[in-house]
Amino acid sequence: NAGVTQTPKFQVLKTGQSMTLQCAQDMNHEYMSWYRQDPGMGLRLIHYSVGAGITDQGEVPNGYNVSRSTTEDFPLRLLSAAPSQTSVYFCASSLGPFNEKLFFGSGTQLSVL
């Protein structure tokens, strides 16, 4: 099992550019989520999904879109990148809702210039 795979590992964008952070899991997990991690701020939930076709907003959803067309994939889209979105992004999944163990990807370091 590969677990939770995030791509790319590093990305540099210019302000206004768009991109998609990819997240895939091969554990047949229903629950998937995206967090951003900033120094001194811990992890903050951006969006989450409790199953294919179902998504909801977390604590800091503005500027990000998600969709869940399959159980395996949960991409995070930045439609118009801003410097405030410079961060490390983590995707996580679990078999059920949060009270199951979360499996984290290795992260994507994003810089927006």
Partner 1 sequence: AQSVTQPDIHITVSEGASLELRCNYSYGATPYLFWYVQSPGQGLQLLLKYFSGDTLVQGIKGFEAEFKRSQSSFNLRKPSVHWSDAAEYFCAVGEVGGSNYKLTFGKGTLLTVNP
Cα 49 from chain centroid? Answer: 10
Q: How far apart are CA 21 and CA 49, in angstroms?
A: 16
Three-state secondary-structure class, residue 16: coil
Choose one: 15-23, 62-70, 79-87, 105-113; the region binding partner 1 (CB under 8 A): 105-113
Site string for partner 1, 40-59 (x = CB under 8 A): xxxxxx--x-x---x-x-xx
Cα 57 from chain centroid? Answer: 12
State the Rg of the chain over Cα: 13
Residue 63 or 107: the one with the smaller Cβ distance to partner 1 is 107
Q: Does 77 bind partner 1 (CB under 8 A)?
A: no
What is the contact surface with partner 1 in residues (CB under 8 A)? 4, 31, 33, 35, 40-45, 48, 50, 54, 56, 58-59, 90, 92, 97-99, 101-102, 104-107
